[in-house]
Amino acid sequence: MNLIRRPRRNRQSAVIRDMVQETHLSVNDFIFPLFVMEGQNIRSEVASMPGIYRYSLDLLLDEIGQCVDLGVRAFDLFPNLPEAKKDKYATESCNPDGLYLQTIRAVKDRFPDVVVMTDVAMDPYSSDGHDGVVENGKILNDPTLEVLGKMAVAQAQAGADIVGPSDMMDGRVGYIRQMLDVHGFQDVAIMSYSAKYASAFYGPFRDALDSAPKFGDKKTYQMNPANSREALIEAELDFAEGADYLMVKPALPYLDIIKLLSDNYELPIAAYNVSGEYAMIKAAAQNGWLDGQRAMAEALMSIKRAGASVILTYFAKEMAELLNDR
Ligand code: PBG
């Protein structure tokens, strides 16, 4: 056959395939989410996330040390708090001697060059399990902003490099930016969860933190999975309000949204490869139904190819090990 175009010519050997490869994953792309809990010498596996643990602070520092040795240098911290420390206004989030702020200080103290991203949201501290102040079964927007603003400033004071509002209240990026600036934290960045969908894929995370909503769901603030144009509205607002990164969450079922934002915005696009996406691959691999390592690498590659330059993923350490072995 006289075919002029034979795309297979560019796939015929490993060297050629490597040479024409368009997208490359690197440990520099990753932010590793980590769960911290009270106590000492505790490493408690999250049942729905094999290989992912809640660590007491001492062991969390060891884990970060191992990750740093593998080249992972950015971490997103989440606290698991006992029910007794939760209340309607998430007051524990601003307790300087509380678990979370103490953890941020300890990590920055031990690893000054590591980037610490924090979670700005009420749910881990909320007795209602919601991301906002609840009144008569409603999630109130503007009163929640005050709580989030204080929380962000407290985290910045503790040493956070990037704060990540994951709540989806309207106006929170602008409010947090203003609060940070007023308190002299001009250099603390905001990674906004811009397009965060009301997703079934957060289930294992809520197990990890015991943070599931006590009533109802999060559909009055998180986005409808059916919508993509609305993601542009959210992104536009976050851009205008001063976000330094725009995040899409979850990642794999929303690759089109990652692509949409990366085509329309010059800011770095982040994607959160969430707990349920991790759990799916792990569960299938444990059953021998697919090759877990290859599925992990392919999934992460697809997120980068879609346009995310930053990937928050529970696979960060495992993928770093694989990248180091290659
Ligand atoms: C809540 C928050 C959630 C996640 C990060 N921050 C869950 C939720 O919105 O209920 C989910 C992360 C994951 O599933 O890995 N502020």
pLDDT digits (tens, 9 = 90+) for 232-248: 999 999 999 999 999 99
Active site residue 249: yes
Catalytic residue (choose from 249, 282, 304, 317) = 249
User: CA torsion sign, 80 to 86 to 90 to 94?
Assistant: negative
Q: Which atom of ligand 1 is nearest to the CA of 278?
A: 15
| Residue 39 pLDDT exceeds 90 | yes
In the annotation, is 85 catalytic?
A: no
Q: Can you give the pLDDT at residue 64?
A: 98
d(CA 265, CA 247): 11
pLDDT at 61: 98
202 C-beta closer than 6 A to ligand 1:
yes
Mean pLDDT of 51-70: 98
What does the alpha-carbon distance between residue 219 and residue 198 come to, in Å, rounded to a whole number? 6
User: Which pLDDT band, with edges at 50, 70 and 90, does 121 fall under?
Assistant: very high
Count Cα atoms within 13 angstroms, Cβ side, for 193. Answer: 28
What is the residue-averaged pLDDT of the chain?
Answer: 97
- Determine the residue of 93, 205, 221, 248 to mutate for testing ligand 1's pocket, defined as the one with the most ligand atoms within 8 A of the Cβ atom: 205
pLDDT at 223: 98
Ligand 1 pocket check for 205: Cβ under 6 Å = yes
Q: How much is the average pLDDT of 165-172?
A: 97
Please name the residues in contact with 299: beta carbons below 8 A apart, sequence gap of 6 or more: 252, 273, 277, 281, 315
Cα–Cα distance for residue pair 238/119, rounded to 1 Å: 16
Residue 326, pLDDT above cutoff 90: no
Closest approach atom of ligand 1 to CA 33: 15
Task: Give SS3 for 293.
Answer: helix
Please give the Cα distance from 325 to 29 (Å, whole number): 17
**Six-digit token string for 159:** 């040493």
Q: Is 277 touching ligand 1 by the criterion CB < 6 Å?
A: no
| Residue 205 pLDDT grade (very low, low, confident, very high; cuts 50, 70, 90) | very high
